[in-house]
Every structure is written in C-alpha cells, then in structure tokens.
Structure 1
Amino acid sequence: MCRCFAADVDWSAVAKQFGVESNENVDSSGNSGTDAASLPRPSYNVRPGQTITVVAQSRDGRRHLSGARWSLVPSWSAGPALTYPTYNARIESAAVKPTFAESTRSMRAIIPASGYYEYHGRRPFYFHAPDDGPLAMAGLFSWWRSPQSTKQQPMSWMLTATILTCPAVDGPATVHDRMPVLVPSDMTGVWLDRSTDGSSLLAGLTSNGTELSRRLAFHEVAPFAPMDDGRRIIRPLAQAEAPTLF
C-alpha cells in the first residue's frame, strides 16, 4: 500500500516530460480550468484526502497537469466520503471492482512523486529513484459531483484520484508486501490514452513497472507525525538521530 508520499517536484519540468501543453487544470468536459497556481505546494508528507497532482489526458488527446483529491470517489457515489478507503487500488482487481472499474477502462493518470513511504510494522522507510528524479506512479481518476445544489452552494465537480499498487518484490518486499505501480516511460502514451481499455494494460504495466521498482533506493527514516513536513523527515535514520553540538 502507499498511504504517504513526498512531492517536491518542478512542475514545469514534469509538464515538459509528459507533453503537457500548459499548466492548466481542466473541468469535467476537458476545457481549461484553474491555472498551475492551484497545484499543491511541495510536501514530504502527503496523505489521503489532501490535494495531489495528476497528469491526465482529456478526450481530445490533450494532456493536463491538475490538482486532485487523493481518495477516489466514483461518479455514482451519493457522497464524497465512502465507508472504505480508496486512496489505493489493487491492480489485480481494479478492472472488476465497481469503485475503480470505470476509471480503469478510460480514466487513468500518472501521479508524480519525489518518493514514497512504506512501513515495516511501525518503522517507516523512504523509497526513491537512485538519482532522486521524479517517480511516475500509476493512478486512476474520477470526476464526482454532488447531487444536491443550492444558491449558496451550487453543484461543482471534484477531481479525485487513487494510486495503483501491486505485490512487492525484492528490496521493497523486505519492508512491505505491497508497493505502488510505476509507469515506464515507453508505456506513458498508452496508459494515458483514454481510447484504450485499460483492462488490457494491467498485466503488462505490472510486469514492466515491477522492473523499475527493483532499482529503487530506500532507507529507514525516523517516525514522523501527520503534521511533520520538510526534507528532514526523509533523512536516513542514522543521520536523523545523530547528535549535534549546536
């Protein structure tokens, strides 16, 4: 599972990497919405329910960089809060689970991250690329709109997202039995293409993404609280506990 990650990323570089024409959000019909200023601020402690950044493609083929609520809400949900967690989706069952099936078919995303945390018991470990470049985590998105509207609170669309996970392998498996699915650069196009049924992509993505995960670097970090933030929380445990004179 992945219930906490770090995102201190150059969004302009991410936009260029993924062929985003401009740092604009989109509304439910694929039209331009709020600008890049609405993207979340850098954080080393991103948690479910907070705003994350997704790279997604609209039906006209344009790619967008947009803020989304981290916990997917399917379009048919009566309310924004479900009785079960939806910040992660198992890639093995995403295509058949009612909550994620529609998104798997045609609403897939990439969630850029600096790194992510997994827990071995109560001990947190930080996973990141060896060169500290951004990770491309596989995600699903969904648009949800409240069925109720008033003059004071008109109906508005909310973009929500989840991170796909798969069984952990090699080094990651020594910490936890699940890990986020990573999207290889040569699968970006087909993964974001809304005209492709994602159900046919899951096996290949798992296999190729697993190879990327085998190469990740990781280290134990000191336990941190939900309100803690900053680069200090990703320091290796030995450094975090080292005494200082001043």
Structure 2
Amino acid sequence: MLEITLLPARSDNYIFLGHDPATGFRFVVDPADAEPVWAALAGQRLDAILNTHHHGDHVGGNLALKDATGCTIIGPAADRDRIPGIDRAVADGDTVMLGSLAAQVMDVPGHTRGHIAYYAAAAQALFCGDTMFALGCGRLFEGTPAQMWAALTRFRALPDATRVYCAHEYTESNLRFAEHLLPGDPALAAYGAEIRAKRAHGLPTVPALIGVERAASPFLRADEAGMAARLGLPPGSDAVTIFAEIRSRKDRF
C-alpha cells in the first residue's frame, strides 16, 4: 500500500522516500540533504516533505527541494519558527494524507521541544525522527525524561508489526550499550544476532519492529518488574526515574 525507500545520507542518516501507488503521491521524511532525494526521484514529482523536528540533519534539504518542486512542507506546530519553508504546521491528533493513506500526527517532545511523529496505521509505518531508535532513543536536548518516557510508551502501544522508520543507523552502538546494561537477556541476545548479521552484510537495521523493540530495548522496559533492582535503584522507583537513569548511563557510555 505504501512503498518506502531508505536513502542513506551524511554519515548515518536515513531519509525516507514514500510513494503511494494508488495516487502517485510522493513524499520525503526528514531530508538531511537534497542530493540523495534528487537521485532517487529521477525526475519524478515530489508532493510533500514531512519534518519531525528542526535539527539541520532533518531539514537541511527543505528549501532546495521546495524551490525545485513546489512541494508542501509539513512540520510541527510547536516548532514552526525553526522549520525552514514550512507551509503547514501540525500537532497531536492532526491527519496528514499521504495520497490515499492517512497518517496520524503524534506530539512526542523530549529530544526537542516540538518533536512530532507520523503514524500511518494502514501501512504499519511509524516515522519517528529521533525520538526512538532501534534499541535506543534520542538524547534529551530540549525535553525531560518524563516527556520522552511518555512518547516511548505511546510508541510501544502500537501493534507489534508496526515498522519503525527512525532516522539514524545507531543500532550497533545501542546494542553494545543494551548488552552492557542487561547481560544475558534472552530477547536482546536473539535481536543482537540478527542486527550483527545484517550489519556484517552492509544491510540497514531500519525499519525496526515495535514488537521486537518492546521485548528487547531497555528504553521501552523502564517499568518492567525487576528493572530497578538490575540498575541498583531503590525498590519502588517509578518508571520515569528508571528511564532517566538508563538515558543517563547511555549518555556516559
């Protein structure tokens, strides 16, 4: 129902080029640069840019692509002043049509103050920017642990088969941290073997699957029974405190 192409950019970014075959609608998510998009479009039209947040490695190609194609730039209302060329500002609960497919906007601040995600349920696709990564989550540059934990719990409630289109290939680094934090964890061991096999063959680990991430990622398991004890935190520590400790340890890893 929705064709999605991964376009590697810069050192570890992914840009996502989407195409709805039913209507011919084409969109790009978080264009770090215009050049990879030009190459993939090969002269075909571009209808829209979806931005998740304001960082330069997510909006760097906005203006060049808009100038050349006349596409519509869609981005977070809470950050409209920092999205180059924005035409439509959206917020939690809004719907963005990707041709014949509807994507729900989710407000997920934490990495930045105005971060959003786009969830296309019919296509089982979540474009989450830098809020969530395979086995990880974004640094808290402008938000709080409570905000990021709330965002991640929204994501983990999505169906198991939801594909997570996160914007960076950070998975091997996240895997090393997760194994350090949770040695011997069976779900993590199985996922780790899959990740290492893909990277050994030069394959991307994105998209990830919500069901796999829910079982393996320490960042989605802060409220799991026994997690506080595994981290040496006091009994009864709340999930936000536990999540904050996990994020802090990753920052120092």
Q: TM-score under structure 2 normalisation?
A: 0.26
Q: Which has the higher contact order (CA 8 A, sep 6+)?
A: 1
Higher helix share: 2
Q: TM-score under structure 1 normalisation?
A: 0.26
